[in-house]
Chain A
Amino acid sequence: MSPFSFMRSAVAPVAFCVALAASALSTPALAANADPAAEKWVGDVSQQAIQIISDKSADRSAREAQFSALLDKTADMPRIAAFCLGQFLRTPTPPQKDEYVKLFNNFVVKVYVTRLSDYHDEKLTITGSQLKGDTQVLVQSQINFTNGREPVKVTWWLLKKDGGYKLFDVNVVGVWLAQEQRSAFTSVINNHNGDFSALLDHLKGQIADAEQGKLPPTAATTGGSSVQ
């Protein structure tokens, strides 16, 4: 444990950006319970994400709108939003719930378009997949950096739904992003004595900050130049 060892984990969100942003070409190794269709799906989705993020002709709000549409189509947003409430799933009143789901979508789009917007020419390679039960798949991939940085492992957790797939969570160097959000969300509610509106206020605050351009430029540049 080095004094700043937790900071190593801080690279995760950045790497996630690169993961989403990176273009995908897959040569899957066939394992016993692999799911080649899911591997192809992850490749396609990450490709679409990169196209949206790297489209410099679109302005920020246009990129956000496209990214939001992609998330609606490919991610199980209601389930992720529900998961992030943890023990407080049944705390909100119906109007609060509706507001939360809207804010959550907006929050995720704002945060990840920001984190993604400094995409570099990195490459995402699908390395394998396993079925988890009948309804879920884990797809493994790896980002290889052009500057000799150690490759980063990214795992995609998919749900089979209506004959297709929906993204539930992404794991970057060991960190599940929805679990990270859940611990922050439940902590906010806990520290306001179970008051759900505190979470709504925090989300509104974050979204407003993002709209006023208070978010730092992007992390991928510095993350990309480091030796990890």
Chain B
Amino acid sequence: MLIVALAACATRPDPSNKAAVQAYEETNDPVEPLNRYFFELNRFFDIILIKPVATWYQGVVPDPARNSIRHFLDNLDAPVILANDSLQGNWDRAGITVKRFGINTTVGVLGLFDPATGWGYPQHREDFGQTLATWGTPEGMYLFLPVLGPSPPRDLAGFAVDQFFDPLTYVYWNGPYTVPVTRFVLNGIDVRSRNLATLDQIERTSVDYYATVRSLYRQSRANEIANGDVSQESLPDIDNLNFDTNEPQAVAPKK
């Protein structure tokens, strides 16, 4: 594996070409060939297995049932979200998570329904990757893994830590693993079924699907970390940007 990884390193640009070096560092995808390999591998499994199952799931299971499954899975995530709300010192959102869990577990019949959203406590997501980001940890290089998808080191570590915030991890510590595996698989199929047409369309309207997904992942992560606030400071300088200018080209500042 290590040899493959080393052989799969993207070539660094000529150090004298500052724009190229800056772009290389901004892209921060030194193992791009390896990532692309796993990306294609995932696409292959998607085409032969996940997409057909998700299509079948969407077609066969009625909408209300699918929505209940979604709400139930979301409700199970509440402890992890609460832990990370708290670690980020975001007590307002921690309060919302507690209220949501209380309301949806009782009135919402063990989480099968989501009355909390209608009562002014909408769903939000947090994970330890986001918590690390608010503590100043950079994302690290882009990494695309089989099954898990985009997993740069910070978010991969966050995903691992989140397992320990999840009470169900301890409940099923010694097995049986049927429940956690079912939860993982069902979540994947449900999310995929909700994005069938969208992903199809992105794939077919992208000049480079891999790079598009990389950009979508990073931008939406940055947005989740900022809790949806679009900041002016992170925007690239476009004032003097055009084909005729002699200004150094605009490259987005590092996030």
Are B192 and A174 in contact (CB-based, < 8 A)? no
Contacts of A87 in B (CB 8 A): 19-20, 22-23, 249, 251
Given A9-B219, A176-B219: A183 touches B235 (CB 8 Å cut-off) = no
Contacts of B149 in A (CB 8 A): 3-6
Of B147, B207, B238, the residue contacting A184 (CB under 8 A) is B207
Are B223 and A174 in contact (CB-based, < 8 A)? yes
Chain B's interface: helix, strand, loop or mixed, by majority? Answer: helix
Given A174-B219, A202-B208, A227-B67: A219 touches B238 (CB 8 Å cut-off) = no
| Chain B CB within 8 A of A203 CB | yes
In chain B, positions 18-69 with a C-beta closer than 8 Å to chain A are 19-20, 22-23, 27, 63, 67
| Chain B CB within 8 A of A208 CB | no
Size category of the B interface is 35 or more
Contacts of B220 in A (CB 8 A): 6, 8-9, 12, 173-175
Given A10-B195, A184-B211, A222-B196: A132 touches B123 (CB 8 Å cut-off) = no
CA distance A86 to B211 in the complex (A): 14
Of A14, A82, A184, A191, the residue contacting B215 (CB under 8 A) is A184
CA distance A202 to B206 in the complex (A): 9
Are B151 and A111 in contact (CB-based, < 8 A)? no
| Chain A CB within 8 A of B6 CB | no
Size category of the A interface is 35 or more
Are A9 and B217 in contact (CB-based, < 8 A)? yes
| Chain B CB within 8 A of A106 CB | no
In chain A, positions 147-191 with a C-beta closer than 8 Å to chain B are 150, 153, 155, 157, 159, 168, 171, 173-176, 179-180, 182-188, 191
| Chain B CB within 8 A of A57 CB | no
Contacts of B250 in A (CB 8 A): 83
Q: Which residue of A lies closest to B211 (CB)?
A: A187
Given A157-B235, A227-B70: A79 touches B241 (CB 8 Å cut-off) = yes
Contacts of A157 in B (CB 8 A): 235
Are B212 and A184 in contact (CB-based, < 8 A)? yes
Which B residues fall within an 8 A CB radius of A?
A: 19-20, 22-23, 27, 63, 67, 70-71, 117, 122-123, 127, 129, 147-151, 155-156, 158-159, 162, 184, 187-188, 191-192, 194-202, 204-208, 210-217, 219-220, 222-224, 226, 228, 230, 232, 235-236, 238-239, 241-243, 249-252
Known A-B contacts: A78-B243, A174-B230, A175-B215. Give 9 more (CB < 8 A): A3-B188, A4-B149, A8-B195, A136-B239, A174-B226, A191-B208, A216-B197, A225-B63, A227-B67
